[in-house]
A and B are shown apart, each in its own frame.
Chain A
Amino acid sequence: MNTRLKTAAYVGPGLGWLALFMIIPCGIIFVYSFFERGTYGGIDFIFSFDNFNRALDPIYLNILLTSGRIAGLTTLIALILAYPAAYAISCAPTRRQPVFLFMVMLPFWSNYLIRTYAWIVLLNREGLINNSLEGLGLISEPLPLLYNEFAIITGLVYNYLPFVILAIYASLSRLNPEIREASEDLGASSLTTFLRVTLPLTMPGIAAGSIFVFVLSIGNFITPDLLGGGRLMMVGNLIYDQFLSARDWPFGSALSLMLIGVMMMLLFTQAIAVNKSMGERV
């Protein structure tokens, strides 16, 4: 058989599936986002930029900014927690590193809803944390831990932390230890070596982890829904509402498109940054 034909036969079904059930559906919401909502919740095929203008309306803009802030804070906290943890794993004996890493990743593979629900149990007014603190006599009134931004960020950090640790560990473990030794032999302190050598060289891992957490957080639906208790809305919840209660599919599509836009921009920036740093190294 012709080699090209054979390759086509192998990749055809997979690429076809992605085209049919991902690219075309995304194309449909791209088109919908330029149309208007019909009177009875259908779609009026009138071309307009109304949906995008509407997204900049203070009510919706506020939701977009809140989502961005929550995703940004989540990313920052996850990085601060993940970097030293990944560093500690990379310093462990080589044979034990896979075990430490597996222990980090294990919770990540349990059901997302369940991991989020666990925080309802912990942060509740009568939850475990409030109960323990009251039991110890540290507080007299239960703290308002649930259904606010704090709860959402805690839930997001909890859910995505394993992945950030993995991404940073991946670039730490690729690091040649001799480079660090050379830096210290040349008289740099541990701190200088870390700041001027290790940190810059692990930027690809930091970037990959950050983008993953940021994108998944900003478009999240479950966490703000369950831990925000409907009091705090993020873009994901807004999109959900447009499709299931407001029946304004074009507006929901426009919001989704904006989310994809943010995602693509970040990935593109990362690709350029990685290419640039590769170029510098050669």
Chain B
Amino acid sequence: MKTPQKTIGMRLLGGHLWVVYTFLYIPILVLMGLSFNDIGMPTAWGGFSTKWYGVLLENDAVLNAAKNTLIVATVSTFLATLVGTMLAIGIESRGRKTSSALEALLFAPMIIPDIVLAIALLSFFTLLDFTLGLHSIILSHVVFNIAFVSAVVRTRLKNFDFSILEASIDLGASEFTTFRRVTLPVIFPGVLAGGLLAFTLSVDEFIIAFFTAGAGSSSTTLPMQIYSMIRFGVTPEINAMATIVMLVSFTLVFISQRINKGSSVS
């Protein structure tokens, strides 16, 4: 009597999983669908149209914000990937257990409430009389991105035998050659996946950017632009922008997954 009971249970579980998927995807699909709705409002379907994408691409504020976001995300990703990867190698190559204080320090940027880090950084920059702008957003984004990059690269290094690096040097290779020919190929998928993750996080980050951008619209990022558009009211342009932003994020995540999975065999 056990088997049929189990299958009913499994079916219920499977059904529940699909309910969860529906819950997760309906809001996203609704936005994407509405972005092609001619009248733009969710009240009725006015026919298929791409006119809201046109309206969006003529909005200078949006384009400027997109440009700022690209600058912030690119520079902060580059810095965080470099520094975070070095950090991961440094920690893992010591060959002993990482102290819980260090683990906590590396974990903190991932879990600290955004608003707290945001006001802390604002206080810090203000105290130093630091002029706020895109550069202060970059410095701030690197903080949480270091944590994510080093976490991804560290998982990659968990089973890495560091004695082969010594072997390489004993055999006459320089430090640099050893890094380029031995270490880098092993960690590269992790570095790339970590970098893509950092880029996605930086593109999406709102509160810290909002607090460290300073006054004026010159350093408005895309999330800040989206926020003010939402606060202003439900406009059809947001749906079009949401669709583009989501598709870009999904593509990046998809690529990063493929990279990290594809070579985990080696």
Contact = CB atoms under 8 A, between A and B. Distances in A.
Interface of A: 1, 7-15, 17-18, 21-26, 28-29, 32, 81-82, 84-85, 87-89, 91, 98, 100, 102-107, 109-115, 117-122, 124, 126-128, 131, 158, 161-162, 165, 190, 212, 215-216, 218-222, 226, 236, 239-240, 243, 249, 252-253, 256, 259-260, 263, 267, 271
Interface of B: 2, 5-6, 9-10, 12-14, 16-17, 20-21, 23-28, 30-31, 34, 41-43, 83-84, 86-87, 89-91, 93-94, 100, 104-106, 108-109, 111-117, 119-124, 127, 139-140, 142-143, 146-147, 150, 175, 200, 203-204, 206-207, 211, 223, 226-227, 230-231, 234, 238-239, 242, 245-246, 249-250, 252-253, 257, 261
Given A110-B250, A158-B24, A17 B115 contact: no
Contacts of B139: 21
Nearest to B25: A107
Contact of B250 (A13, A109, A243): A109
B86 A11 contact: yes
B17 A89 contact: yes
Contacts of B9: 190
A219 B208 CA distance: 13
B53 to A, nearest CB: 16
B116 A107 contact: no
Given A106-B253, A253-B123, A222 B207 contact: yes
List the 7 closest A-B pairs by CB distance, nearest first. A219-B113, A10-B90, A14-B87, A118-B27, A25-B120, A11-B90, A25-B124
B87 A111 contact: no
Given A100-B17, A243-B119, A113 B249 contact: no
A1 B119 CA distance: 41
B43 A119 contact: no
B111 A161 contact: no
Contacts of B83: 13-14, 17
B28 A120 contact: no
Given A114-B246, A126-B43, A24 B146 contact: no
A232 B24 CA distance: 25
B23 A88 contact: no
A114 B31 contact: yes
B43 A15 contact: no
- A105, A109, A271: most-surrounded residue (chain B CB, <10 A): A109
Contact of B115 (A13, A127, A239): A239
B87 A29 contact: no
Contacts of B105: 15, 18, 23
B113 A215 contact: yes
Mostly helix, strand, loop or mixed at chain B's interface? Answer: helix
Contact of A113 (B20, B27, B227): B227
B112 A263 contact: yes
Nearest to B222: A111
A113 B116 CA distance: 18
12 contacts: A10-B86, A18-B146, A22-B143, A81-B20, A91-B10, A112-B206, A120-B234, A158-B27, A216-B113, A219-B116, A221-B114, A256-B113
Given A88-B17, A221-B114, A259-B113, 13 more contacts: A10-B93, A14-B86, A14-B146, A28-B127, A32-B123, A89-B17, A91-B13, A109-B249, A113-B230, A118-B242, A122-B30, A126-B43, A219-B113
A59 B258 CA distance: 51
B262 to A, nearest CB: 12
B162 to A, nearest CB: 11
B204 A112 contact: yes
Contact of A162 (B24, B115, B242): B24
Given A107-B24, A109-B250, A263-B113, A121 B31 contact: yes
Contacts of B93: 7, 10
Given A102-B257, A226-B230, A111 B21 contact: no
